[in-house]
Structures are given as structure tokens and as C-alpha cells.
Amino acid sequence: MIELKNLSLSFGAKQVLHSLNFQFEDGKVYGIVGENGAGKTSLFRCIAGLENYSGAIEEHPAPLKNYLGYLASEPFFLPKVTGEEYVLLLAEARKWKIDSAEKFNLFQLPLKEFASQYSTGMKKKLALTAVLAQNNDWFILDEPFNGLDLQSNIVLTDLILQLKAKSKTILIASHIFSTLKDTCDEIILLSKGNFLEVVRKEDFDRLEIKLKEDILSHNFDFLNY
């Protein structure tokens, strides 16, 4: 369980999260949607203990960082580390002994090659592979589908459902609404650092229609040239 209590975050004079209150329950998949700059990554970084915030985050089990796999939207890799070494390193950081990185290689990555030479999509898949090798109970996935090919999107969608079946808890930010509809129990609409709405599965279609209408409400008269 993670409970946000009046969670706020500011960078200098700019406040990016405004007194957020919510309880994430164990064994569920939550989607976070919002425009660029809405505060999704900032929220995730607070939960992961990477930002100094005001308010409180109550965690069970605690400390959450010992049970949390965090997939950043743009993973970073040292230049002379192979994919295999990266997976083993993250497992070792949790004092979790694994026999082989290949066991977790769902995406058929060239683990003997340097991670810095991977494509954008391959880096995302490697970071996810390493997070899986840590045997986490909680997962934060920040734009996990970005840069992935169609086959990998299908694998990742099924993987999320498999993790949920094992009572893992997952928070996902994604601009690809269909992936959230396929995987989430609830979707939270975040706008300008505020939670506007929490939507359950039976209302996902309504939320999708609302988001499309908001996006397409712009005036396209400028195209008449």
C-alpha cells in the first residue's frame, strides 16, 4: 500500500504537484494520464524517493525503495557495461542472486553487447529486464511502451497482466491510451499537478472519448490555406 497525503512538490517558485491525496492498493494496476508537464514523472520520482517533497507518503512494506522497480522514461547506461552486466548489477544491488541474465531475456536482447550501443527501444527493454530480475513487488513504469515495436508492445502488455496475476502492484504513465485500457484497474487523470478524476475500468471508454474531445477541440482553420 502507498498512501499520498497532501503530497506537494516545487522547483523553486514553480509548484508542480499540489496537495495530492490517494491510496494505491496492493495487487492493482494504475494508469496515470495527462499532458506533457502534468507532473507524472515528478509524482513517480517522489514515490521512488528521488525528490524532496512536502506532505507525506506512507508505505507498506517500508522502505518501499527496497521492493520497488523503477523504469525511467529515458534509462541511463554507462558506456562500457554490457546488457548482461547491467542486469546482474541491478540484481546484486538488491542482494538478489540470479544464475543467468538470459533467464529474464524476454525481448531477445544481445546481452553480450554494450548497452550504450543499443537502440532507444532496446535500452527501454533492457532497463525493464533488469527491473524484473530484481524480484520486485512494486513497479513504476514511466512511458514503458515508448520506442517499442509492435511485438514488444504485445509482450509488455501480457507481462503486466502476468505481474498483476502474481499480486504485484504497478503504476504506469503512458500516452498510448489503448495500453492502459488493456492493463489497468483504475486510471488517474493528472493535470497541472492536480488529480482531476479517478476512473474505474467500466468508465475507461467514457474517459477516452472525453480526452479525444478535449484534444480535438482545437481550431484547425489555419489549414484552410
- Please report the pLDDT score of residue 219 as a whole number: 65
pLDDT-based confidence at 161, cuts 50/70/90? very high
C-alpha cell at 44: 513517480
pLDDT in tens, 46-67: 999 999 999 999 998 888 988 9
- Please report the pLDDT score of residue 94 as a whole number: 87
- Please report the pLDDT score of residue 62 as a whole number: 86
Task: Please give the C-alpha separations between residue 10 and each of 13, 44, 90, 173, 198, in angstroms, as whole numbers.
Answer: 7, 14, 30, 20, 23
Of 48, 37, 50, 51, the C-alpha closest to 8 is 51
Specify burial of residue 224 (Cβ count, 10 A radius: 0-12, 13-18, 19+).
exposed
DSSP string, 50-114: -S--EEEEEESSSSGGGTEEEE-SS----TT-BHHHHHHHHHHHTT---S-GGGG-TT---TTSB
On whether the CB atoms of residues 15 and 108 are closer than 8 A, the answer is no
- Please report the pLDDT score of residue 95 as a whole number: 85
Q: What is the mean pLDDT of residues 149-173?
A: 95
pLDDT in tens, 183-208: 999 999 999 999 999 999 999 999 99
pLDDT in tens, 72-84: 998 989 889 999 9
Q: What is the mean pLDDT of the chain?
A: 92
DSSP string, 120-187: HHHHHHHHHHHHHTTT-SEEEEESTTTT--HHHHHHHHHHHHHHHHTT-EEEEE-S-HHHHHHH-SEE
pLDDT in tens, 88-143: 999 998 888 888 899 999 999 999 999 999 999 999 999 999 999 998 999 999 99
Rounded to two decimals, what is the model's pTM?
A: 0.92
What is the domain partition of the chain in residue ranges?
Answer: 1-67+137-151+167-215
- Please report the pLDDT score of residue 218 as a whole number: 64
pLDDT in tens, 20-52: 999 999 999 999 999 999 999 999 999 999 999
CATH of 1-67+137-151+167-215, one of 3.30.70.20, 1.10.1740.10, 3.40.50.300, 3.60.21.10: 3.40.50.300
- Please report the pLDDT score of residue 86 as a whole number: 95
Q: What is the mean pLDDT of residues 1-28?
A: 96
- Please report the pLDDT score of residue 216 as a whole number: 74
